[in-house]
């Protein structure tokens, strides 16, 4: 049943994305999730027992999301609401649009490319050269393909609307409070670990989809480079994207004026990158998406 509902949801998302006219009038569900998490952060993230409070918040968010999904699915025309909400919570078209905007900006000028990539990465973008802009866009595309497309689709496939809602609120919590900063190291610990757990299978599935849809059958470079990433999951789709495009990504970058030394992913790949390489990344995103659609079709059939 969930596979049959996931197919139209994926197609709706791919066709419509996030219509600006709609979300200019209504708050996006992710925005509502963010407001709730921000309120809990302000109310509870102080004093003693911050880790315990964070565990309680993470558990409460997950239980609440599961209950909400169960209630909506049980409503009259529940199948329709599930399709619509799943389409809203998937992000293929939005991801492609943001990544393509970096290529378009870079073709106009380096500053335009820097401004476009600043919308999707957290590093210092004003210091990036053309290759740095392109590399940042490719990395973000690969990571967000897993987080924004494959993971929510996977959890909808496994557990329907409750599953995708639990995943999305966990992923939102991780992005807001799951940081190793003095404020959030304790309070956000559970959110970060829960998000890591929920992305464990989808991240590796994303790597497989990217590789297989490009005819790449040698797992060794992906297995070699994926564990080099500071995240236990993000390295998998990034390593797969790097090898199929034959580009070197990751490497040194600047955060808040401080250089961070990260190892190269697929260091054998080319390092002189530009807008054309971002275009190839967009094509790779669509090929990976088609691979996921094919997988869902197989589940429907068998």
Please write the tens of the pLDDT for every residue from 46-76.
999 999 999 999 999 999 999 999 999 999 9
For residue 166, which of 54, 28, 60 has the smallest C-alpha distance? 60
State residue 23's pLDDT score.
87
pLDDT at 120: 95
When pLDDT is cut at 50, 70 and 90, the band that residue 31 belongs to is very high
CA 62/CA 174 separation, integer angstroms: 12
Does the model's pTM come out above 0.85?
A: yes
Q: For a pLDDT cut of 70, what percent of the chain falls above it?
A: 100
Report d(CA 208, CA 200) in Å as an integer: 13
The residues, ordered by sequence, that sit 6+ positions from 15 with a Cβ below 8 Å of its Cβ are 93
Range of the domain at 195: 2-301
* Buried b / exposed e along 264-277 (16+ C-beta atoms within 10 A): bbbeebeeebebeb
Under 8 Å CB-to-CB from 250, ≥6 apart: which residues? 135, 139, 228, 229, 238, 262, 263, 264, 265
* Nearest in space to 265 (alpha carbons), one of 163, 182, 142: 142
Higher pLDDT, 258 or 106: 106
Would you say residue 77 has pLDDT above 90?
yes
**For 192-234, what is each residue's pLDDT tens digit?**
999 999 999 999 999 999 999 999 999 999 999 999 988 999 9
pLDDT at 254: 85
Cβ-based neighbour number of residue 263 at 10 Å: 12
Total domains in the fold of the chain: 1
């Amino acid at each position: 049943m969930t596979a049959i509902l996931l197919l139209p949801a994926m197609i709706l998302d791919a066709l419509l994305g996030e219509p600006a006219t709609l979300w200019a009038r209504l708050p996006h569900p992710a925005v509502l999730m963010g407001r709730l998490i921000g309120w809990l952060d302000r109310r509870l993230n102080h004093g003693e027992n911050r880790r315990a409070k964070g565990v309680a918040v993470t558990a409460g968010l997950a239980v609440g999301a599961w209950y909400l999904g169960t209630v909506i699915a049980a409503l009259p025309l529940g199948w329709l609401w599930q399709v619509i909400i799943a389409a809203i919570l998937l992000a293929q078209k939005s991801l492609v649009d943001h990544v393509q905007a970096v290529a378009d900006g870079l073709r106009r000028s380096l500053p335009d490319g820097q401004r476009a990539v600043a919308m999707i990465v957290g590093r210092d973008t004003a210091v990036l050269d053309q290759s740095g802009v392109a590399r940042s866009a490719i990395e973000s595309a690969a990571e967000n393909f897993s987080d924004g497309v494959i993971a929510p689709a996977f959890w909808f496939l496994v557990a329907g609307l409750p599953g995708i809602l639990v995943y999305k609120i966990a992923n939102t919590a991780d992005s807001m409070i799951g940081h190793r900063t003095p404020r959030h190291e304790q309070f956000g610990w559970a959110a970060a670990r829960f998000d890591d757990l929920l992305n464990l299978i989808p991240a590796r599935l994303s790597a497989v989809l990217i590789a297989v849809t490009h005819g790449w059958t040698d797992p060794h470079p992906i297995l070699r480079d994926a564990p080099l990433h500071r995240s236990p999951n993000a390295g998998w789709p990034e390593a797969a994207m790097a090898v199929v495009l034959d580009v070197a990504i990751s490497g040194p970058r600047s955060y808040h004026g401080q250089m961070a030394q990260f190892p190269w992913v697929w260091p054998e790949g080319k390092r002189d990158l530009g807008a054309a390489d971002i275009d190839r990344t967009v094509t790779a995103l669509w090929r990976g998406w088609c691979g996921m659609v094919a997988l869902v079709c197989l589940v429907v059939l068998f």
